Every structure is written in structure tokens, then in C-alpha cells.
Amino acid sequence: MNTIIQNILVFTALILAVMFIVKTYIWSPKKKKTKACGGDDNCGCH
């Protein structure tokens, strides 16, 4: 009985961890802000 409960808890933790990784890095990755000047970034240096 304890083995079944442990397996359920382990798989639940694994699923939550995978969902967190997917949500954080794959579903909506944060865009990098570059401080490079030029192009169409409207930095006002030209």
C-alpha cells in the first residue's frame, strides 16, 4: 500500500516539474532585451 502512495506522489511531482519547465521556458519564453544600438530599436542614439 505504501509503495502505491509513493509512486503516485513521485509521478505527481514529476508531472508538476515538467509542467513548470514547459510553462517557463517553452510556452512563453521571455524576450531578451539587448542594449545594442542600431536597426529599428528606437534607442535615440542616431
- Residue-by-residue pLDDT tens, the chain, 46 positions: 899 999 999 999 999 999 999 988 887 766 666 666 656 666 666 5
Opening angle at CA 21, ends 16 and 33, nearest 5: 150
At residue 24, the pLDDT reads 87
At residue 16, the pLDDT reads 97
At residue 3, the pLDDT reads 96
The answer to whether the beta carbons of residues 46 and 37 sit under 8 Å apart is yes
